[in-house]
């Protein structure tokens, strides 16, 4: 190696030294700068660590809640957002759901508590307490209450609909009835108008008829008076002829009486038709008349004492009636006897075996002839009618008798109804009232006809029976009054 000169060596050394110093300084500068940068980083790390620890601990970051939030951040719409931003968004959404607007947690909790308290205050009257522990529980209670109220409301709504339907039907029915009523009312009004017109016309026609009737009646009465005057003038001429004829009749009747049996009628009336064969219980008796003897159910008999017999009727007073012990009605006809019910027993009387029974109409061997005249009052209601006279005639025909139109010598009995009454009018009434004159004339004619029948029967010695005597003699008096 070639020797180096000192000046050259020293210069190289200085250069190397300078380079070394420069490099040292550069390295020192780099070391200082790096030390300063590491210190800043360390301080920053400390500061960041403190901030993280204030926000979340390492244990919480490893917990499931943080992992759920981190999982949300992995979703595409949340990747550019921090976990804190996500939590704030979720908090705002939750408070909005709870109280209707985004706010802090403490404010939201206070608002929720206030909502629950307000709900409790308002629902206290209806008895629905809302729990203050959670809004979910409160909502559940309110939901149940609402559903219950809705159920009740639905039931009430159903009842209301049903009641509305019923009311609608009733209204429709009422409207229909009102319509029908109006229709009937209009028809009634029309009928009333027509009837009123007809009544007026009828009244006018009757007034005219009454005027004509009064005129005709006056004319008739006047003619009758003239005829009566003429008749009276002829009466004197006819009286002698009548007296002569009556004398001839009496002579002829006297001659006939010599050839007819005496007291035939009384013997018929007092003849018993049978006897009481047996006395049963419960108002039942049996008589000794049965099949083949012209007896029928419904026929009545008067009962007479077996020792005293049937009382006489000749010359007896009108009030002295042949009542006997009582009366029977045939209920069932047997072979040899007939069952009867006791219609009535006179007070203090008792039926015994052997008592006599009689019915004036009944005669299995002959048809007795009856003349029935006048109106009868068989039910004793003080009103004599032609209809009740027909009942008497029907009994005679049903029980074997014969009805005749005229009283002749062959007539067995004449049965007379109630005697006609003559109205009591003053002479002034008869003079001024043609209707009174007409009624008086009608009643007088009825009385004359009644007396003529009775006189004719008596002249021919035909027994005359009034209504009550006849009803007793056939055993029908008591039954007719029931």
pLDDT tens for each residue of the chain, 482 residues long:
455 556 667 777 778 877 787 787 788 788 877 778 778 888 888 887 777 767 777 777 777 877 777 777 777 777 777 877 777 877 887 788 777 777 777 777 777 777 777 877 777 777 777 776 676 777 777 777 778 778 878 888 888 888 888 888 888 887 888 888 788 878 878 887 887 788 778 778 877 877 787 777 777 767 767 776 776 677 666 666 656 665 665 666 555 554 444 455 566 788 899 999 999 999 999 999 999 999 999 999 999 999 998 887 654 455 567 788 999 999 999 999 999 999 999 999 999 999 999 999 999 999 999 999 999 999 989 999 999 999 999 999 999 999 999 999 999 999 999 999 888 888 888 787 888 888 888 999 999 999 999 999 999 999 999 999 999 999 999 998 87
Place of tokens 């009312």: 185
Q: How far is CA 217 from CA 128, 227, 234, 434, 437, in A?
A: 100, 15, 25, 6, 9
| pLDDT for 219 | 78
Q: How far is CA 347 from CA 62, 259, 280, 324, 344, in A?
A: 129, 44, 19, 11, 9
Q: Which residues contact residue 264 at a Cβ distance below 8 angstroms, ignoring those fewer than 6 apart?
A: none
- Residues 277 and 354: their CA atoms lie apart, in Å, by 6
| pLDDT for 424 | 85
In sequence order, what DSSP letters do the residues of 126-165 get, joined into one string? GT----SS-HHHHHHHHHHHHHHHHHHHHHHHHHHHHHHH
- Residues 320 and 313: their CA atoms lie apart, in Å, by 9
- Torsions phi, psi of 138, nearest 5? -60, -45
Check: CB of residue 311 under 8 Å from CB of residue 302. Answer: no
Q: Give this prediction's pTM.
A: 0.48
| pLDDT for 376 | 96
| pLDDT for 48 | 77
- Residues 327 and 304: their CA atoms lie apart, in Å, by 9
Q: Which residues contact residue 393 at a Cβ distance below 8 angstroms, ignoring those fewer than 6 apart?
A: 372, 403
Which two structure tokens, joined as six digits, stand for 476? 């029908």
Angle between helices 105-123 and 83-99 (to 10 degrees): 20
| pLDDT for 39 | 80
Q: Which helix (H) or strand (E) holds 342?
A: strand 338-345
Which two structure tokens, joined as six digits, stand for 442? 């009608």
Check: CB of residue 374 under 8 Å from CB of residue 417. Answer: yes
User: What region does 76 belong to: left with phi over 0, alpha with psi -120 to 50, or beta?
Assistant: alpha
């Amino acid at each position: 190696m070639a020797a180096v000169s000192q000046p050259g060596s020293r210069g190289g050394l200085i250069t190397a030294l300078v380079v070394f110093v420069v490099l040292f300084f550069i390295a020192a500068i780099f070391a200082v700068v790096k030390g300063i940068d590491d210190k800043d980083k360390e301080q920053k790390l400390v500061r960041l660590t403190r901030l993280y620890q204030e926000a979340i601990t390492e244990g919480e970051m490893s917990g499931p809640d943080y992992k759920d939030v981190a999982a949300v951040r992995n979703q595409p719409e949340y990747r550019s957002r921090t976990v804190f931003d996500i939590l704030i968004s979720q908090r705002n959404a939750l408070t909005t759901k709870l109280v209707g607007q985004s706010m802090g947690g403490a404010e939201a909790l206070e608002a929720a508590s206030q909502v629950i308290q307000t709900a409790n205050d308002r629902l206290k009257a209806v008895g629905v307490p809302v729990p203050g522990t959670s809004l979910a529980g409160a909502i559940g209670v309110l939901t149940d209450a609402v559903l219950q109220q809705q159920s009740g409301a639905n039931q009430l709504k159903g009842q209301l609909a049903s009641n509305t339907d019923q009311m609608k039907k009733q209204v429709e029915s009422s409207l229909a009835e009102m319509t029908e009523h109006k229709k009937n009312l209009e028809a009634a009004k029309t009928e009333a108008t027509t009837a009123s017109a007809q009544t007026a016309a009828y009244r006018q026609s009757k007034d005219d008829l009454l005027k004509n009737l009064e005129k005709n009646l006056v004319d008739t009465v006047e003619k009758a008076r003239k005829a009566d005057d003429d008749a009276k003038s002829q009466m004197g001429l006819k009286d002698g002829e009548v007296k002569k004829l009556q004398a001839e009749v009496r002579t002829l009747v006297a001659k006939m009486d010599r050839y007819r049996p005496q007291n035939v009628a009384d013997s018929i009336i007092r003849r018993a038709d049978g006897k009481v064969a047996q006395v049963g219980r419960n108002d039942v008796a049996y008589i000794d008349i049965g099949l083949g003897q012209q007896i029928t159910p419904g026929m009545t008999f008067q009962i007479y004492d077996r020792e005293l017999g049937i009382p006489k009727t000749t010359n007896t007073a009108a009030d002295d009636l042949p009542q006997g012990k009582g009366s029977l009605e045939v209920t069932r006809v047997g072979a040899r006897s007939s069952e009867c019910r006791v219609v009535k027993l006179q007070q203090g009387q008792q039926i015994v075996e052997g008592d006599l029974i009689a019915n004036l109409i009944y005669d299995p061997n002959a048809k007795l002839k009856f003349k029935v005249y006048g109106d009868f009052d068989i039910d004793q209601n003080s009103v004599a009618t032609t209809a009740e006279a027909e009942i008497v005639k029907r009994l005679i025909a049903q029980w074997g008798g014969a009805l005749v139109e005229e009283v002749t010598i062959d007539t067995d009995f004449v049965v007379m109804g109630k005697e006609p009454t003559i109205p009591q009018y003053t002479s002034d009434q008869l003079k001024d009232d043609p209707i009174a004159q007409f009624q008086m004339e009608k009643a007088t004619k009825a009385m004359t006809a009644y007396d003529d029948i009775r006189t004719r029967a008596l002249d021919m010695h035909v027994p005359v029976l009034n209504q009550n005597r006849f009803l007793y003699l056939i055993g029908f008096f008591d039954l007719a009054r029931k």
